[in-house]
Amino acid sequence: MPELPEVEVTRQSFAGRIAEARIDAVRTGLPLRWPLGCDPQSLVGRTVLQVRRRGKYLLLDMDRGLLLMHLGMSGSLVFASSLPVAGKHDHFELSTSRGVLRLNDPRRFGAVVYAESQEAPVARKLLGGLGVEPLEEGFTAELLYGGLRQRQTAIKQVLLAGELVVGVGNIYASEALFLAGIRPTTRAVRISRPRALKLHAAVRDVLARAVAKGGSTLRDFSNAHGESGYFQLEANVYGRAGEPCKVCATPIKMVKQGQRSTFFCPNCQKT
């Protein structure tokens, strides 16, 4: 699933090129996770002002309303001056004065949703429960520590939930917990202030490096230029079950948490 770094990399790869573009045509394919919420032809003639990100959502602000895009489990966007005829997995397309933006999503868990504004009920439903952005100033060590003190569940599950801090997906939660020396199964409430400070720094470091590396391409992720990410090549624990820890040579272990694979070093992350 594309996580925050992949979504941010995607945003960066086409936001500047589509800004101020006029929408000339809209094409929809098979239904996605949620309905568009408007007549596709009503978007024709509108102008894309900018592209923002909130958690794993891309927000295309227009001169009237906005589109909220989610890549789901397997979605990707491409933006080019022209594209081949749409294939069976191409389910949404904006033809604009600056190029064509196309969503490809084989599993159709992604979505494109129209909202009159970010305060509209549909937008508030999708975005209202999201936590603070981890790469922005509002994500402080004290905020993280205070939030952890109120949660009894395992720290990895807290990071994935997105209510305290948004966008720390499965790969990056495993990597951040390794850097902080915290076992993924440790209850959040048990994490001390000094360890929370380490985790705060680790989350920011891992996500920033992932964005710089173009995200992670485990199967088929690519940005709007069609370029793959490379962060997975420097992972310390994720996807390395049975391989020696890069720090202490202890074999990396894998456990299941909430039906997701969690990787950790039993020596470097004792508690």
Active site residue 56: yes
- Catalytic one of 11, 17, 46, 56: 56
- What single-letter amino acid sits at 85? V
3 is catalytic: yes
- Residue closest to 270 by CA, chosen among 253, 240, 189: 253
Beta strands in the chain (DSSP E): 21-28, 47-54, 57-62, 66-70, 76-80, 90-96, 99-104, 111-115, 253-257, 260-264
- C-beta of residue 35 within 8 angstroms of C-beta of residue 67: no
Rounded Cα distance, 175 and 237, in Å: 6
SS3 175: helix
> Among 66, 62, 63, 53, which Cα is nearest to 10's?
53
- Among candidate residues 27, 52, 246, 260, the one labeled active-site is 260
For the chain, how long is the longest CA-to-CA vector?
60
Residue partners of 76: CB distance under 8 A and separation at least 6: 2, 10, 103, 104, 105, 220, 221, 222, 223
Judge whether 92 and 27 are in contact, CB under 8 Å.
Answer: yes
Could you tell me the CA-to-CA distances from 127 to 18, 57, 68 in Å, in that order? 23, 8, 10
Rg (CA), the chain: 20
Annotated active-site residue in 3, 8, 93, 175 = 3
Q: Active-site residue among 2, 5, 134, 184?
A: 2
Q: Could you list the active site residues?
A: 2-3, 56, 260
